Amino acid sequence: MNGFKTEVKNFKQKWPKAKFVDLIFTDINATPRGKRIPIESIEKVEKGVYLPLSTISLSIEGNVVEEAGLGEALGEPDHICYPIPGTLTPTFNPEVAQIMLTMMDAKSEQPIELSPRTMLENLMNQIRSKGWYPVMAIELEFYLLDKQRDTEGGIQPPLNPVHHDREYRSDVYNVENLDDYSEFLHDLNDAAVKQGLNTSGALSESAPGQFEINFNHQQDVLNACDQVILAKRLIRQVAQAHDFDVTFMAKPFADEAGNGKHMHLSVVDQAGSNLFTDAQGEASSFYYQTLAAMLAMMPDSMALLCPNVNAYRRFSASMYTPTHANWGENHRGVALRIPMSDAHNRRIEHRIAGADVNPYILASVILAGVLASEHFSEQQCPPQLADNAVELPLRMPDALIKLASSELMSMYLPQTFISLYLACKQRELADFEKAVTPLEIDWMLHSA
C-alpha cells in the first residue's frame, strides 16, 4: 500500500465520523480555496484534482485579477493539483476532514513556481544544499469580536463570557482573562492537538479581546506555514461555535494594537549546532551577515510583508511596531529583535508582518535574507538601534514602487511571482482608492 492510501486508511480508522473532505489550495492571499467532496471519493484525489490556474491570483474579495494574466487571457485553463502528504487532518466539525493541495505547472511535471508555497519550497532546497537548516517558530495574534456591530455599524470587542460586560481594557498577559475564555481556549487547544498542530498555548495580548497563539520551533518550515493556514481556519471555526466573530486584520481598531505575525529564525547545521553562534559561544559572523542582508532587503520587501492598505495602519512607534529597518537585543520596538536566550538558542525575531500576511511569502522573504547573507560582511551590519536606520515605506503605493524596482528581491524570488504579486496588489489598491469613505463624507460634504 502506498503512502497516500496508508494515510487515508489510518485517518478513516481514527476519525470514523468524517463524511466529507475539504480540498484546500491557498491563493496569493493565503485564503483557502477548493472544493468539498464525499470522503468515499478521497482515494481518487491521489490521481489529481483540477482547479483553474487563476485561483492563485484571486483578490481579497475572491475575484480573478485579470491584470495578472492567468484568467481570460489564457482561456481560464485548469491545472492539476495533488494532495500534500501528511496534511489529511480533521477539522473542528467531526464530519468534515481537510487536505491541502499543491498545483502543478502546465506540463504537470513540477509544482508551479507562481504558488507562494512552491516558492518557499524552492528556497528551502537552495538553503539546505549549502548545509544550512532554517528553524522557525511563529507567533500569531488575533482579535475575538462581538458578532453584533455597535450603533454606528462598527466592530466591537466581545462580551466577557463570565462577567458579561464589554471588554475595554488592555490587560497584557492577564491569566485571569484566559480563565474567562477557558471554554473557547479549551476547544481551540483540544482541536489543535487533534489536528497535530505544533502549538504551545495561547495568551492574552495587548488589547481588549486580543489573543496570541504560539507555534513551537521546527525545521520543516513548509509544514510550519501549512499549520498557520490550518490554525487560522480552526480559530475561525471555534470562534463561530462560541458565538464570537474573529479577525486577523493587521489593524482592526484605530486606537488599539494591531495583529502581528512574528517569525523567529535560527539556522543550524546538519548536526544541529546553531550557526548564529560561534565556537566560543558568541554571535557568529554568519549571524551579523544575516542581519545585514535582512535589513538591506527590508524596504524593498515591505509590499510582500504588508499585503493590503490596512496592513500599513499597524505601524506606530507607540505600538511597538517598527518604522525603520533596525535591530536590537531584547527590544520590541525594532524590526529585527534578538530575544533573550542562551548561545544554543540564539535567534532573530522578524517583527514587521501583520497576521494578514501570507505565511509562505513571509517565510520566503526571511529565507531570501539568509541566502543573501553570503554577499554581506559582518562589518556591513549596522549597530543596534542605529540613528540613521533606513525608514520603511509605510504607505502601500510607496511599498509597491519599491518592490517593482528592486533588483535585490528579484535575485532571490522568481520575477514571474513578483510580477504576479504586483499585478494583484496594484489592482487591489486601485479598487480601494476608488471607494468614497464615510470619513470623506464627514469631513468634506459641506466644507469642500
149 and 100, same structural domain?
no
442 found inside a domain: no
- The CATH number that applies at residue 231 is 3.30.590.10
Query: What's the full length of the chain, in residues?
Result: 448
Query: In angstroms, how far is CA 86 from the centroid of its own chain?
Result: 20
Beta bridge partners of 328: 337
3: phi then psi, degrees, rounded to nearest 5: -60, -45
Residue 86: left (phi > 0), alpha (psi -120 to 50), or beta?
Answer: left
Q: Is residue 300 part of a domain?
A: yes
Q: Does the pLDDT of residue 296 top 90, yes or no?
A: yes
Other Cβ atoms closer than 10 A to 188: 25
Task: From residue 412, give the alpha-carbon distance in Å to each of 127, 154, 169.
Answer: 11, 42, 44
User: Kind of pairing, strands 261-268 and 133-146?
Assistant: antiparallel
> Which pLDDT does position 175 carry in this prediction?
60
Q: How far is CA 344 from CA 276, 280, 394, 437, in A?
A: 9, 11, 35, 51
Picking from 112, 143, 160, the residue at the C-terminal end of a domain is 112
List CB contacts of 176: < 8 A, sequence separation 6 or more: none
Characterize 95-131 residue by residue with b for buried, 16 or more Cβ atoms within 10 angstroms of its Cβ, and e for exposed.
ebbbbbbbbbbeeeeebbbbbbbbbbbbbbeebeeee
C-alpha cell at 64: 480573478
- In this structure, the answer to whether residues 61 and 151 fall within a common structural domain is no
pLDDT at 262: 97
- Using the structure block, give the residue that is written with the C-alpha cell 476547544: 187
Residues 304 and 408 in one domain: yes
Domain encompassing residue 24? 3-112
What pLDDT, in 10s, does the model give residues 396-448? Answer: 999 999 999 999 999 999 999 999 999 999 999 999 999 999 999 999 999 98
| Residue 441 is assigned to a structural domain of this protein | no
360 CB-near residues (< 8 Å, 6+ apart): 26, 30, 116, 117, 119, 120, 225
Task: Give the pLDDT of residue 317.
Answer: 73
Proportion of the chain in helix, strand, coil states, percent, rounded to 5: 40, 20, 40
Percent of the chain with pLDDT over 90: 91
- pLDDT tens profile 218-229: 999 999 999 999
Query: 166 and 275 share a domain?
Result: yes
Beta bridge partners of 51: 79
Does residue 438 belong to any structural domain of this protein? no
* H or E stretch covering 419: helix 415-434
Average pLDDT of the segment spanning 313-325: 90
Q: Which cell numbers in the block locate residue 224?
A: 510550519
Residue 204: per-residue pLDDT: 77
Task: For residues 48 and 28, give the distance between their C-alpha atoms in angstroms, rounded to a whole number.
Answer: 21
Q: What is the pLDDT of residues 373-384, one digit of tens each?
A: 999 999 999 999
CA dist 21 and 360 (Å) reads: 23
Residue 173 in this model has a pLDDT that exceeds 60: no
| Boundary of a domain, candidates 91, 112, 133 | 112
Q: Could you report the per-residue pLDDT of 103-120, keeping only the tens digit for each?
A: 999 999 999 999 999 999
pLDDT > 60? residue 172:
no
Residue 163 has pLDDT above 90, yes or no: no
Same domain, 96 and 234: no
CATH code, domain with 76: 3.10.20.70
Cα separation, 338 vs 350, in Å, equals 9
Residue after which a domain boundary falls, among 85, 112, 139: 112
d(CA 142, CA 208) in angstroms, rounded, equals 11
In this structure, are 178 and 232 located in the same domain? Answer: yes
Same-domain status, 92 and 216? no
Residue-level pLDDT at 207: 85
**Number of independent structural domains in the chain:** 2
Please give the torsion angle defined by the CA atoms of residues 209, 243, 213 and 56, in that order, rounded to the nearest 10 degrees. -110
Q: Which is nearest to 25 in space by CA: 1, 55, 3? A: 55
> Do residues 219 and 135 touch, judged by C-beta distance below 8 A?
yes
Query: Which contacts of 242-245 are long-range, i.e. CB under 8 A and separated by 24 or more positions?
Result: 242/161, 242/183, 242/184, 242/187, 243/147, 244/144, 244/145, 244/146, 244/147, 244/158, 244/184, 245/144, 245/145, 245/146, 245/147, 245/155
Q: Are residues 149 and 30 in the same domain?
A: no
User: What does pLDDT average to over the chain?
Assistant: 95
Task: Check whether 95 has a pLDDT greater than 80.
Answer: yes
Residue 183 lies in a domain: yes
Q: Is 444 a domain residue?
A: no
Q: Is 147 found in the same domain as 101?
A: no
Interval 2-48: pLDDT, tens: 899 999 999 999 999 999 999 999 999 999 999 999 999 999 999 99
- Percentage of the chain lying above the pLDDT 70 cut: 97
Same domain, 95 and 201: no
Asked whether residue 185 is domain-assigned, the answer is yes
Domain for residue 204, yes or no? yes
Q: Are residues 177 and 284 in the same domain?
A: yes
What pLDDT is stored for residue 149 in this prediction? 94
Verify that 177 and 245 share a domain, yes or no. yes
